[in-house]
């Protein structure tokens, strides 16, 4: 059939055709200038903040280690349980044996799941390796089993042979290396532009950036942070444009229209900018805080600093002591844009505990962002998988999912979350430790919110499952997994994005509400809701700024997430009137 060529399309073999079959690398090689320019700029931006990036990498690595350890604790847990049960029935020796078998079985099952996920990325095919014909099913399962065996062998080598300790040492050395590199000065680091210092008896400042006052030093560092962040954003946008103009093979894709519609959606853009600012606040919390969090919040009695006392002498004092004397609790107030008695610059005043509001807000943004993102991510994952499966297979599976989600939905979210939080925290479960309960909260919120997300995409899933292209894929034997991924999931993603961005705001509020009630995130991890609750008694006094500022920030971020959701929805929907002024018509859908 390949020799077939229409009479009028011979010229199609010409230049237009010959240039098409190239990989992205080849396309860049043939016209490297725009890509190189962009890459040079990107490298420069990365170099400016290389240390901070490595810090991020380390934190990310810790998170991954935590997740892997969580999974790794599964086989011993199941093995131990089985052992206990069997030992109670049949004596210790069989119990030990069966427990060990259950342990290994669980381990292998986990590895098989991992192998199934990895199988698609294998560089070689089993039938090529073995050099013989095999049916598709046999090949796929053969590959998965081979991968499981390899993973098992690696695990065995790591656990039972010296290889394990060698790898441990190696990884440790790398982590140390990265740790050292991450201390490199960055553009916005406190070392480069310090704002902590003390007044000199002569009237100037010592220890601050160029002898400027702490307020100015802090302001300069902050301006740099925001400039850097927005330049990065612009550069990413430019990169997308470079790719689209020079290297993308399709000269138009449906996504182009979506992007265009979003760009003209002012309400959505407003949301995007605020949300971006929120992310920057979280990411650059150490640079934005005038006083570092570990000194000011976590270990105030391990950190000292110098100040000029009223007698004109330089005196050393603990942060904790200074905090005690700087409380904004109605009696005394350190308001926004002022210094406390120890000449610490407090751009947003102090909390009722005398800590810096700015530091609390910035680090609290981290807490909120991590919880909200992981809760929504976790919930969305469940929702998408279940909605695809139930829309594709229907029948009993669908009914089970409906019943399950209805059961969860029938319990008020806040009650459900409070119940679970209390149960886990009282039993001092290991999940409750990280982030002072933040991770636990994220998982519980994800569990509580997936039925809502599942419902919001159930209709679209059922609809897309009825499309003829799904039938077409069936007629040529596409696997159900790929049909769901290629032909159904992309249509649901847009819906889940809208709902997720609305939900992000809702989750921030829920977390704040829980912290306000004394559940959720406990001291000392900074959290916005707790700021409001701490400042509430003083709302009628001079120290009104505590609750007010925290409340405004929460309201603004939630509003921005809703605006972003509206923008995405209108951008995705081709029928939406881009120029129309209906922006914000349905804002606020995700609250609580």
Partner 1 sequence: MSQETVTPDERPGRDTMVEVRNLKTYYEQGGLFGGTPVKAVDGVSFDIERGETLGLVGESGCGKTTLGRTLLQLEEATAGEIRFDGVDVTTLSGEELYEWRQNAQMVFQDPESSLNDRMTIGEIIREPLDVHDWKTARERKQKVRDLLDTVGLKREHYYRYPHQFSGGQRQRIGIARTLALEPDFIVLDEPVSALDVSVQAEIINLLEDLQDEFGLTYLFIAHDLSVVRHICDRVAVMYLGHIMEIGPTEELFSDPANPYTQSLLSAIPEPDPTSTKQRFTLRGTPPNPRYPPEGCPFATRCPVRIRPPEYEHLDEEVWEGIGTLREVLRERERAERTVRERIGELLGRESRFKSLDETYDELFGDVAVPEDVQSVLDDVADLVENDDEAAALALLAEEFASVCDGHADGSGGFDEDDEPIQPEYHSVSVSGRKSFCHRHAEAYREPDDVLDERHG
Q: Where on the chain is the footprint of partner 1 (CB under 8 A)?
A: 1-2, 4-6, 9, 12-13, 16-17, 20-21, 135-137, 249-254, 395-396, 399, 467-469, 471-479, 482, 486-487, 490-491
Identify which of 295, 265, 280 has the alpha carbon closest to the alpha carbon of residue 498.
Answer: 265
User: Measured in whole angstroms, how far is the alpha carbon of residue 475 from the centre of its chain?
Assistant: 39
Tell me the DSSP string of 117-153. HHHTT-SS-HHHHHTS---HHHHHHHHHHHHHHHHHH
Distance CA 454, CA 494 (A): 13
Taking the complex as a whole, the smallest distance from the CB of residue 2 to partner 1 amounts, in Å, to 5
Distance CA 478, CA 313 (A): 80
Angle at 342 between CA 336 and CA 343, to 5 degrees: 60
Taking the complex as a whole, the smallest distance from the CB of residue 463 to partner 1 amounts, in Å, to 11
Taking the complex as a whole, the smallest distance from the CB of residue 295 to partner 1 amounts, in Å, to 51
Quick one: 92 or 467, whose CB is closer to partner 1? Answer: 467
Taking the complex as a whole, the smallest distance from the CB of residue 567 to partner 1 amounts, in Å, to 20
Identify which of 186, 190, 151 has the alpha carbon closest to the alpha carbon of residue 71.
Answer: 151
State the Cα torsion 428-429-430-435 to the nearest 10°.
Answer: -70
Distance CA 518, CA 569 (A): 36
Taking the complex as a whole, the smallest distance from the CB of residue 550 to partner 1 amounts, in Å, to 42
Taking the complex as a whole, the smallest distance from the CB of residue 22 to partner 1 amounts, in Å, to 11
Quick one: 429 or 481, whose CB is closer to partner 1? Answer: 481
Query: How many Cβ atoms from other residues are within 10 Å of residue 15's Cβ?
Result: 8
Angle at 292 between CA 297 and CA 425, to 5 degrees: 35
Cis peptide upstream of residue 558 (ω within 30 degrees of 0):
no
Quick one: 19 or 80, whose CB is closer to partner 1? Answer: 19
Quick one: 260 or 486, whose CB is closer to partner 1? Answer: 486
Q: What backbone phi and psi angles, to 5 degrees, belong to 407?
A: -60, -45
CB contact at 8 A, 271 and 566: yes
- Residue given tokens 């409380």 in the structure block: 327
Quick one: 262 or 528, whose CB is closer to partner 1? Answer: 262
Identify which of 381, 589, 412, 377 has the alpha carbon closest to the alpha carbon of residue 502.
Answer: 589
CB contact at 8 A, 342 and 321: no
Quick one: 160 or 476, whose CB is closer to partner 1? Answer: 476
Quick one: 127 or 299, whose CB is closer to partner 1? Answer: 127
Taking the complex as a whole, the smallest distance from the CB of residue 305 to partner 1 amounts, in Å, to 57
Taking the complex as a whole, the smallest distance from the CB of residue 359 to partner 1 amounts, in Å, to 45
Taking the complex as a whole, the smallest distance from the CB of residue 468 to partner 1 amounts, in Å, to 4
Quick one: 33 or 137, whose CB is closer to partner 1? Answer: 137
Quick one: 133 or 428, whose CB is closer to partner 1? Answer: 133
Taking the complex as a whole, the smallest distance from the CB of residue 138 to partner 1 amounts, in Å, to 8
Quick one: 358 or 461, whose CB is closer to partner 1? Answer: 461
Distance CA 450, CA 507 (A): 12
Taking the complex as a whole, the smallest distance from the CB of residue 119 to partner 1 amounts, in Å, to 15
CB contact at 8 A, 502 and 565: yes
Strand ranges (E), 348-411: none
Quick one: 77 or 469, whose CB is closer to partner 1? Answer: 469
Query: Which H, E and C letters describe 283-319, residue by residue?
Result: HCHHHHCCCCHHHHHHCCCCCEEEEECCCCCEEEEEH
């Amino acid at each position: 059939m390949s020799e077939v060529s229409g009479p009028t399309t011979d010229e199609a073999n010409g230049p237009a055709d010959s240039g098409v079959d190239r990989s992205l690398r080849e396309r860049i090689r043939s016209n490297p200038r725009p890509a190189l320019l962009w890459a040079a700029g990107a490298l420069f931006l990365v170099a400016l903040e290389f240390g901070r990036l490595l810090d991020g990498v380390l934190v990310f690595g810790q998170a991954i280690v935590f997740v892997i350890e969580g999974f790794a604790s599964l086989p011993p847990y199941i093995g131990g349980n089985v052992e206990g049960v069997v030992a109670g029935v049949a004596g210790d020796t069989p119990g030990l044996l069966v427990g060990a078998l259950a342990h290994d079985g669980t381990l292998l099952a986990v590895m098989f799941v991992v192998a199934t996920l990895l199988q698609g990325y294998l560089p070689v095919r089993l039938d090529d390796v073995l050099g013989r014909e095999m049916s598709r099913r046999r090949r796929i399962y053969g590959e998965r089993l081979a991968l499981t065996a390899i993973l098992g062998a690696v695990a065995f080598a790591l656990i039972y042979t010296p290889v394990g300790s060698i790898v441990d040492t190696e990884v440790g050395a790398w982590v140390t290396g990265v740790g050292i590199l991450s201390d490199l000065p960055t553009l916005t680091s406190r070392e480069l532009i310090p704002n902590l210092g003390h007044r000199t008896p002569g009237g100037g400042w010592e220890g601050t950036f160029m002898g400027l006052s702490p307020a100015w030093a802090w302001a300069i560092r902050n301006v740099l942070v925001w400039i850097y962040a927005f330049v990065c954003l612009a550069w990413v946008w430019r990169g997308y444009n470079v790719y689209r103009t020079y290297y993308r093979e399709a000269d138009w894709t449906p996504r182009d229209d979506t992007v265009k519609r979003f760009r003209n959606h002012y309400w959505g853009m407003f949301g995007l900018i605020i949300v971006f600012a929120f992310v920057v606040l979280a990411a650059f919390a150490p640079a934005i805080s005038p006083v570092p969090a570990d000194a000011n919040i976590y270990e105030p009695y391990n950190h000292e600093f110098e100040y000029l006392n009223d007698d004109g002498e330089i005196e050393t004092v603990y942060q904790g002591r200074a905090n005690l004397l700087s409380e904004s609790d109605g009696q005394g107030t350190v308001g926004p844009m002022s210094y406390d008695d120890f000449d610490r610059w407090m751009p947003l005043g102090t909390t009722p505990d005398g800590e810096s509001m700015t530091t609390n807000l910035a680090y609290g943004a981290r807490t909120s962002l991590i919880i909200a993102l992981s809760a929504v991510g976790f919930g969305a994952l469940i929702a998408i998988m279940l909605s695809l499966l139930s829309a594709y297979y229907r029948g009993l599976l669908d009914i089970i999912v409906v019943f399950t989600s209805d059961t969860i939905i029938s319990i008020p979210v806040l009650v459900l979350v409070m119940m679970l939080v209390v149960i886990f925290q009282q039993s001092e479960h290991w999940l409750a430790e990280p982030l002072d309960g933040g991770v636990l909260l994220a998982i519980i919120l994800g569990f509580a919110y997936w039925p809502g997300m599942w419902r919001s995409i159930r209709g679209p899933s059922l609809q897309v499952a009825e499309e003829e292209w799904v039938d077409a894929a069936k007629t040529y034997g596409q696997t159900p997994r790929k049909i769901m991924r290629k032909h159904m999931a992309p249509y649901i993603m847009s819906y889940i994005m809208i709902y997720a961005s609305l939900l992000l705001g809702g989750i921030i509020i829920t977390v704040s509400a829980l912290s306000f009630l004394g559940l959720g995130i406990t001291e000392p991890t900074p959290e916005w809701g707790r700021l409001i609750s701490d400042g509430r008694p003083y709302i009628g006094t001079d120290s009104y700024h505590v609750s007010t500022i925290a409340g405004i920030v929460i309201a603004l971020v939630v509003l921005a997430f809703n605006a972003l959701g509206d923008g995405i929805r209108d951008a995705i929907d081709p029928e939406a009137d881009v120029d129309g002024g209906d922006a914000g018509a349905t804002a606020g859908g995700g609250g609580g």
